[in-house]
């Protein structure tokens, strides 16, 4: 019965949006002719039947029937459905236990504690990340790509994260246009960025600029004026859309000021997609690099809700801080060496390996260097993961990109050799649960190949991508009325007393 109810609910939603589109059609402006170019692949034609049946928001991932509906219109229809579904679920199962907490978990970074609700993605130990039920290979198949390209556009991924549905190419094009319209920076933020010392870390510049954008927060203004809590999501949505649109401009300004002497244009071309505009503002003109950026921004966008950046955005947002303040807090977490600097550490390790063993080391030389690394008390950077127990699919798709576009690159070939040698060695130690590579083992190598050598900047790219996932989650946090986060803490003495009872 629940299954039938979900299907009926979706049909009612589609009917509403269809009727709304008919009313809106007579006076809605068409997108500029130039914007109609540059996109391909209609998900209607390629969405496999098995993917349509993956459970998501009260229904199933499928192509949206109402092609002309905007993202906000789709959300406005879906949110009441999900509110009712969660309300009924909590009423029936609110007291059900989801797991147990051990003392080791409390001292061990809360690893493994099932304590958060995140709708946008779930990390499976064997299959890797699933965005609203879809794996990365599935996303590559069904999400719209640019004309002449193969990689999914991040706009489509954001739509999927927000709605649980695969967008049409028209909806993705519409989102690209909307972000282009919202992209301009306030002059005070431009002045602030242009006056920052070039010695200031790019992540510090990013966080400061995002906080300064809070000056124009629609959420903060609405809250101060006493808006009803059922409307919170609407203003969180507006701020999130504005912030995502502006982030490439902020990030490109930081890059050009810090590494290019301020040269370059930060103008937005409304005929280009989000990633293409970003690459253009960074000063690159390689179509392959643009494709890589589309892939990079898609696969780094979300990774459940328990990682430092995602959890921080959720935590700060739970206090009803606006999306700018919440996201800036998350970026300060991402800047930490244990979270967002891993791909830099991989490159540093690779360079040291090359210096000691040469650019084309033998398998025996690699084994010797890897054992030397491990015996010195260090880890092999880019290998292992807190949750994953197989090769990270984000690594795999980057490897496939490299095999297609740069198979002869010296650094890529070294990474490929390491891929064959490291897992057996880590397994032999008996101390590693996951001996396979993660996303960080590959991303830096690709960026280096296309000329982006500035490793301190890589985390900024990560941050721009991560905005898609954490801000989509933040909108849903406000839509579902999730309360301020306030777990109980205990002292060591209290824990010792507990175990004596």
Q: Which residues are catalytic?
A: 339, 385, 440
- Within 8 A by CB and 6+ apart from 310, the residues are 118, 302, 303, 304, 330, 466, 469, 470, 473
User: In what helix (H) or strand (E) does residue 16 lie, and over which residues does it extend?
Assistant: helix 2-25
- β-pairing, 39-40 with 145-146? antiparallel
- Within 8 A by CB and 6+ apart from 357, the residues are 365, 366, 368, 369
Nearest to 69 by CA among 29, 10, 24, 12: 24
C-beta of residue 313 within 8 angstroms of C-beta of residue 326: yes
484 φ, ψ (degrees, to nearest 5): -65, 140
Give one DSSP letter per residue of 366-377, joined into a string: HHHHHHHHHHTT
For residue 495, what are its two tokens? 């824990």
Give one DSSP letter per residue of 282-336, joined into a string: HT---HHHHHHHHHHHHHTS---S-SHHHHHHHHHHHTT--HHHHHHHHHHHHTS
For residue 114, what are its two tokens? 């099932």
| Residue with token string 């060496």 | 337
Distance CA 116, CA 106 (A): 15
Nearest to 395 by CA among 294, 309, 290, 296: 296
Distance CA 102, CA 113 (A): 9
Question: Dmax over Cα atoms in the chain, in whole Å?
Answer: 74
C-beta of residue 213 within 8 angstroms of C-beta of residue 243: yes
Distance CA 10, CA 431 (A): 48
CA geometry: angle 84, 90, 92, nearest 5 deg: 105
Q: What is the DSSP letter of 156?
A: H
For residue 423, what are its two tokens? 């897992």
Nearest to 441 by CA among 465, 418, 466: 418
């Amino acid at each position: 019965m629940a299954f039938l109810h979900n299907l009926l609910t979706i049909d009612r939603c589609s009917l509403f949006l269809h009727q709304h589109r008919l009313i809106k059609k007579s006076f809605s402006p068409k997108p500029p002719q130039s914007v109609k170019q540059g996109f391909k692949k209609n998900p209607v034609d390629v969405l496999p039947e098995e993917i349509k049946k993956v459970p998501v928001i009260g229904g199933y991932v499928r192509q949206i029937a109402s092609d002309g509906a905007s993202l906000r219109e789709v959300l406005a229809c879906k949110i009441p459905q999900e509110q009712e579904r969660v309300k009924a679920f909590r009423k029936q199962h609110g007291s059900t236990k989801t797991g147990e907490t051990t003392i080791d978990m409390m001292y061990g970074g809360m690893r493994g504690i099932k304590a958060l609700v995140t709708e946008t993605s779930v990390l499976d130990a064997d299959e890797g990340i699933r965005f609203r039920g879809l794996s990365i290979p599935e996303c590559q198949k069904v999400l719209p790509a640019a004309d002449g390209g193969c990689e999914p556009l991040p706009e489509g991924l954001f739509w999927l994260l927000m709605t649980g549905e695969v967008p049409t190419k028209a909806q993705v094009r519409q989102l690209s246009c909307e972000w282009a319209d919202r992209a301009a920076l306030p002059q005070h933020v431009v002045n602030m960025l242009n006056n920052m010392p070039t010695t200031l870390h790019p992540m510090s510049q990013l966080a400061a600029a995002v906080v300064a954008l809070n000056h124009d927060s629609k959420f903060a203004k609405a809250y101060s004026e006493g808006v009803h809590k059922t409307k919170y999501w609407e203003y969180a949505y507006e701020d999130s859309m504005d912030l995502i649109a502006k982030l490439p401009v902020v990030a490109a300004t930081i890059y050009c000021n810090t590494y290019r002497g301020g040269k370059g244009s930060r103008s937005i071309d409304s005929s280009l997609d989000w990633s293409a505009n970003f690459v253009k503002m960074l000063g690159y003109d390689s179509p392959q690099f643009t494709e890589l950026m589309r892939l990079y921004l898609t696969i780094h966008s979300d990774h459940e809700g328990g990682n430092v950046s995602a959890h921080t955005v959720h935590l700060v947002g739970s206090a009803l801080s606006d999306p700018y303040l919440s996201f800036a807090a998350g970026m300060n977490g991402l800047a930490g060496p244990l979270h967002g600097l891993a791909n830099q550490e991989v490159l540093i390790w690779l360079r040291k390996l090359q210096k000691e063993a040469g650019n084309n080391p033998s398998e025996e030389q690699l084994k010797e260097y890897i054992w030397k690394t491990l015996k010195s008390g260090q880890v092999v950077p880019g290998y292992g993961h807190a949750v994953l127990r197989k090769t990270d699919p984000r690594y795999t798709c980057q490897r496939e990109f490299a095999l297609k576009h740069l198979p002869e690159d010296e650094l890529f070939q070294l990474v490929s050799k390491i891929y064959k040698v490291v897992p057996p060695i880590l397994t032999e130690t008996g101390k590693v649960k996951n001996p396979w590579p993660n996303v960080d083992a590959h991303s830096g190598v690709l960026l280096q190949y296309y000329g982006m050598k500035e490793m301190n900047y890589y985390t900024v790219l990560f941050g721009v991508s991560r905005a898609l996932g954490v801000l989509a989650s933040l909108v849903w946090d406000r839509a579902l009325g999730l309360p301020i986060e306030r777990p109980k803490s205990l002292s060591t003495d209290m824990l010792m007393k507990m175990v004596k009872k």
